[in-house]
Each structure stands twice: as structure tokens, then as C-alpha cells.
Amino acid sequence: MSVLPRTLLPDSAEVGPEGQLLVGGCDLASLAEEYGTPLFVYDEAQLRARCREAVRAFGDGVAYATKAFLCRAMARLAHEEGMHLDVASGGELAVALGAGVPATRIVLHGNNKSDDELRRARQAGVGRIVVDSFDELDRLERLHDEDGIVAKVLLRITPGVEAHTHEFVMTGQDDSKFGFGLKVGDAHRAAERARTSPAVELVGLHAHIGSQVFVAGFYEQAIEALAPIVNELALPELSIGGGIGVAYVEGEEAPSLTEWGDVVRRACERAGITAAVSAEPGRAIAAAAGITLYRVGTIKDVPGIRRFVACDGGFVDNPRPALYGSGYETFLPRAVEADRTEVVRLVGKHCESGDVLVPEAKVPPGLVVGDLIATPVTGAYGRSMGSNYNLLPRPAVVFVADGQARLVVRRETDDDLLATDVG
């Protein structure tokens, strides 16, 4: 038997009388009819519940990492539920501010922030800037000479911890483009400099060891590595970054936000850290609340080899399989509890053989052209990392709750694709 595990579906998932899936009280097939496909569907109550859980686990100061998924509705939702917002570019900053999130609730990140990004963030009055390099300190001082604004900053420290995850998303190791290395003494030099700089007010330290980290123990290692400098500098704040993993496929297990918070708090207590400890989860807030719906357009059998099922999206709306070899499950919204006895390759509509969404996708028998097919746990780093390759319009996003669907990002049109083309 290979029925899609219920745990991979959004919290509000229910099975209707004909075996069809409802999320937030909405029938997925009707959503696909109304809004078209590909379509990102988010369980709004689940997004809200995860934000509240993060606030309970870490207290005020915990930030939603908007790179996972951002639009104004999401920024507003995270803010309403008590989270701060972590932005990593001028664009993310613009959307967060455009959503009405107060600048003081925004944290600016980035290993190569431009003068313009730093200027805009400081002038808007962002709550924290996480300083990543000596060049950034130079830039902040130059900008301070221009306008006299003093920014509250954390220093991003590279603790020299290798969290076991995909190497592309490991960030805590010494050989990293991010942050001030602890072992080489840069962290101490940066703290010295920040403390004496007129351009910044140093309020704390920050570390982010990586993403899709399944073992909370890596955070204990990071905290042990950071404890001497945290305690020596006696700064009021420490952010442990984001990165706690989520289950994408059958058999995977990840700590909850609550469990992660407990591990971090206990490790800080053991290490004698008295700073207020916060974090920046992205994936753990957004991933499992989202589902992508696709329409099957072409089925091709290669005798003795495999069946290709081509849908109307592809690696433009979910580049994670192509980039990291990430796994996803598949199911048919019309028969969510059906036994998935056939294995097919779910591909997109792009001009590359690497355009594979699920190499070994389990589906029930009887899949036909015109069917809806869905991938769960696509709420993080799908749409946000998507592209317009082959000039496919980016999909729409709907939030569902209490039987109501609300369009929060409309599908792009050909006019959108031409809007920036001034030739």
C-alpha cells in the first residue's frame, strides 16, 4: 500500500464524499477551475498557527524568513501573528514595507548589501541590520557620514559548524561566503570595530548554520561554539538563524518549531547564555501549508522504460528537485486516499530533460490527460525561487480558509512578461 501520508497534507485537509481533497474547506478541483493551473494553494490557518508556534517557542523577536515565500498577504499575516520579518534584499524589504509592516519589525540580511539597500533600510528605520562583512561596516560608516543615522546591528558569525544538509544550503562552516569567521578571529575584530563605530549600535550576534536541518543537535553545537564570544561580549541579543527542516516525503521526520525552540533554549541555559535568543524560520512556517496543483497535458509511454507524465508547470515553479535533488510526493486531488501503485516520471513543459519535478512519482492507476496532479509541501522556496524561463507566466497564489479562497497573487499575463521589455 502506498497511500499519501496524511501528515504531508496541510492541517485543514479533509476528504470529501467522493474521495476528493478539500483544503481550508475548499475543493481543490474547483480552485483549479477558477484560478487555473499551475496554482499554489496555501492553508491560511496553518500559516497562522506556525507563526504563533514560532512566537511561543522563541518569544518576541522571532522573524519569518521571507525568502521562503513572500507576497504582501504573507507579510501581513506573519506580522499580524506577532513575527518580525527577515528580508534579504531591497526587493523583499519593499514588499514587507508595502504590506504595511512597520520598519522596526524588519531585519535586513545579505552578504553583499548595496549602498542603496542599506540606505533605504536605514532611512525606513529597520529594526536590525545583520552585518555580514568588514566592507559592509565601511559602507555603513560612509552612509552615516552622509545622514547621521545610527543603525542597530547584529553581527553574523560563522561558528564553524557543519550541519548535515545539502552543501548548497550549508552556511555555518568556516569555508563560507557568509559572516565573520569565529576561528580566524574575524568575529572578535568585527565586534571591536562595531563597538567603537559611530555608525552602528551593536546589540547582538547572529548565526545561521544552514537550511533543511533535520537534527536539532547541530544548533546545540553552534550554541556551544558561540557561547564564549556571546558571554564575553555580553550583548543583549542572539539570533540562531533559521533552517529547521520539514518532512517532504514519506518516512521523513523533522522537529517541530516547539521542539527546536526547546533544544535551543536548553543549550543556551547550559552554556550560560543570558542574551534574549531568537530565530528566523522560513521553511518551517510556509512549506507544509502549501500545495501546487498542475494539470496533466501529455502522457508518453516509453515501452520497457517508463511513463512520462507532463504537467503545465515545471522547474520554473519548483526548481528544488533540479537544484538539490529534492524529493516530493504526488497525489491526485480527486482520489487523495487512493493506493498509488504506479510509478511515473512527473515532468514539466520546458525544453530540457532536467525539467523533472518528481523522478519516481507514485500515482494511482487510471491517471489520464486532463487530470489534476498535486505535489504537497511546496509552500517554501518554490514560487519564491521560480523563474520565467521559456516565458511561462508565474502561477497565481490563493489562500484558503473556512471554505473561502482568496486570490493573493494573480497569475502573470503576457502583458506582465512584456512590461519591462522597453526595446
Cell numbers 511561462 label which residue?
A: 392
Query: Cβ of residue 66: shortest distance to ligand LLP, in angstroms?
Result: 9
**What would the grid cell of residue 45 be?**
490557518
Give the contacts of 389 (CB within 8 A, at least 6 positions apart): 315, 316, 350
When the beta carbons of 283 and 340 are compared against ligand LLP, the nearer one is 283
**Residue 169 binds to ligand LLP (criterion: CB under 6 A):** yes
The grid coordinates of residue 413 equal 499575463
* Minimum distance of ligand LLP from residue 294's CB (angstroms): 19
Q: Is 383 in the site for ligand LLP (CB under 6 A)?
A: no
- Concerning whether 71 is annotated as a catalytic residue, the answer is no
Among positions 61, 160, 242, 379, the unique one binding ligand LLP when judged by CB under 6 A: 242
Region binding ligand LLP by CB under 6 A among candidate stretches 2-10, 236-244, 264-272, 291-299: 236-244
Among 64-72, 121-129, 146-154, 249-257, the segment contacting ligand LLP (CB under 6 A): 64-72
Instruction: Report if residue 282 touches ligand LLP, rule: CB under 6 A.
Output: yes
Of 265, 122, 317, 271, whose CA–CA distance to 201 is shortest?
122
Of 243, 290, 376, 395, the residue at the interface with ligand LLP (CB under 6 A) is 243
Measured from the CB atom, is 24 or 172 closer to ligand LLP?
Answer: 172
Considering only 133, 211, 292, 375, the residue that binds ligand LLP (CB under 6 A) is 211
State which residue, 282 or 364, has the beta carbon closest to ligand LLP.
Answer: 282
Select from 35, 248, 381, 399 the one that contacts ligand LLP (CB under 6 A).
381
Check 26, 71, 311, 351 and give the catalytic one: 351
We find the least distance from the C-beta atom of residue 156 to ligand LLP, in angstroms, to be 7
Which residues have a Cβ under 8 Å from the Cβ of 205 and sit 6 or more positions away? 154, 155, 156, 157, 187, 191, 226, 229, 230, 233, 235, 237, 238, 239, 275
320 binds ligand LLP (CB under 6 A): yes
Q: Tell me: does residue 65 bind ligand LLP (CB under 6 A).
A: yes
Cβ atoms 373, 36 nearer than 8 A? no
Residue 260 in the binding site for ligand LLP (CB under 6 A):
no
Q: Which of 68, 121, 182, 209 binds ligand LLP (CB under 6 A)?
A: 68
- Per rule CB under 6 A, is residue 212 in the interface with ligand LLP? yes
For the window 5-44, what string marks contact with ligand LLP as x by the rule CB under 6 A?
A: ----------------------------------------
Measure the CA–CA gap between 160 and 175, rounded to whole angstroms.
8
**Residue 106 Cβ vs ligand LLP, minimum distance, rounded to whole Å:** 13
Q: Is 205 in the site for ligand LLP (CB under 6 A)?
A: no
Taking CB under 6 A as the criterion, the residue among 49, 149, 385, 417 binding ligand LLP is 385
Determine the size of the site formed for ligand LLP (CB under 6 A): 21
Q: Please pick, from the candidates 86, 237, 317, 371, the single residue that binds ligand LLP as defined by CB under 6 A.
A: 86
Min dist CB 155 to ligand LLP, Å, is 13
Distance of CA 179 to the CA centre of its chain: 20
- Residue 107 CB neighbour total at 10 angstroms: 27
At its nearest, how many Å lie between ligand LLP and the CB of residue 14?
A: 28
Q: Which residues contact 208 (CB under 8 A, 6 or more apart)?
A: 156, 171, 172, 178, 240, 241, 242, 243, 280
Binding of ligand LLP at residue 127 (CB under 6 A)? Answer: no
208 binds ligand LLP (CB under 6 A): yes
Q: Which one of residues 139, 283, 340, 362 is an interface residue with ligand LLP (CB under 6 A)?
A: 283
Q: How big is the chain by its Cα radius of gyration, in Å?
A: 22
Minimum Å gap between C-beta 206 and ligand LLP is: 7
Q: Which residues are catalytic?
A: 351
The residues of the shown chain that bind ligand LLP, judged by CB under 6 A, are 65, 67-68, 86, 109, 169, 208, 211-212, 241-243, 280-284, 320, 324, 381, 385
